[in-house]
Homo-oligomer: A and B are copies of this chain.
Amino acid sequence: MKNKPVLRLGLPKGSLQDATLEKMAKAGFNISVSSRSYVPYVDDEELSIRLIRAQEISRYVEHGYLDCGITGHDWVMENGSDVHEVGEFLFSKVSRRPARWVLCVPEHSPVKSVKDLRGKRIATEVVNLTKRYLKKHGVKAEVEFSWGATEVKAHELVDAIVEVTETGSSLRANKLRIVDELLSSTPRLIANHTAWKDKWKRHKIETIALLLKGALEAEAKVGLKMNIREPNLAGLLKTLPALRNPTVSSLSQKGWVAVEVIIDEHIVRELIPAMKAAGAEGITEYPLNKIVY
């Protein structure tokens, strides 16, 4: 008897773990982590989940211990892992900005550009990225691995740091100044080259990517429904952003149509007043789980 095939998927343990499991649940894969087992439960028998530090996932995907994994582009680069990139995602609902690895110095440091770091000492979690960056700029400097709390070191222990930031607020709070950006990074679904060539595994990976993308799209969108008199329809449609066609359906009530659109949640605050002005009635906004175009 042949075994059922299983796809081994690595997800980031630690600070990104909860967000990732929540996104996976939205995509339709419910995962529960138990303190008693290192293999989380997932309600899909074709999947086997492993929780591994984001920093290490690309390494184990490359070696083939994992078929695929979700990790940051930064750690793929830091590890120099040779993997197939399947897709890119944006996880953070609030900022929707990528993570950026930046070279920082104290606000009043004389260092103005990477050139000023010649002969200095730099602390960072991404030693390889930093060394490559310095080499590219022809700067010789000492790079040391930092086990954490890197921001604090910039004031006393080293001359500069390379640290990750989303909005820059933590850096400002530590009175640091950004000198340069080394890398901008977003979460990626990556696959082992061999797994990607396997037809069954590739189809499974692509399904995960499709559903995850659909779930992430849906987080930033909402549905709007409204009724409007037919003569006002054209005016209403002009208020809408250039989207795929809204769904217009006829109502039993003569002279009225129902309009339904999916729009970016961000523009709702401008659109609803405009729609009302255009004659829309009974505007309702509802949440979405997934969108697949």
Binding site for B on A (CB under 8 A): 13-14, 27-30, 32, 34-38, 41, 43-44, 50, 52-53, 55-56, 59-60, 63, 65, 93-94, 144, 146-149, 152, 155-157, 167, 169-170, 173, 207, 210-211, 214, 218, 222-223, 227, 244-245, 247-253, 257-258, 262, 265-266, 268-270, 272-273, 276, 281-293
Contacts and interface: CB of A to CB of B under 8 A. Distances in A.
A59 B144 contact: yes
Contacts of A14: 148
B290 A56 contact: no
A36 B286 contact: no
A37 B289 contact: no
B214 A285 contact: yes
Given A250-B250, A283-B292, A285-B288, A272 B53 contact: no
Question: Oligomeric state, in number of copies?
Answer: 6
B211 A272 contact: yes
A273 B210 contact: yes
Contacts of A289: 222, 284-287
- The dominant DSSP class at the A interface is mixed
Contact of A265 (B28, B249, B250, B262): B28
B249 A147 contact: no
Contacts of A13: 148-149
Contacts of A43: 94, 266
Contacts of A170: 36
Contacts of A262: 282, 284
Looking at A149, A167, A218, the one whose CB has the most chain B CB atoms below 10 A away is A149
A180 to B, nearest CB: 24
Nearest to A267: B28
Nearest to A211: B269
Contacts of A214: 272, 283, 285
B269 A29 contact: yes
Nearest to A257: B252
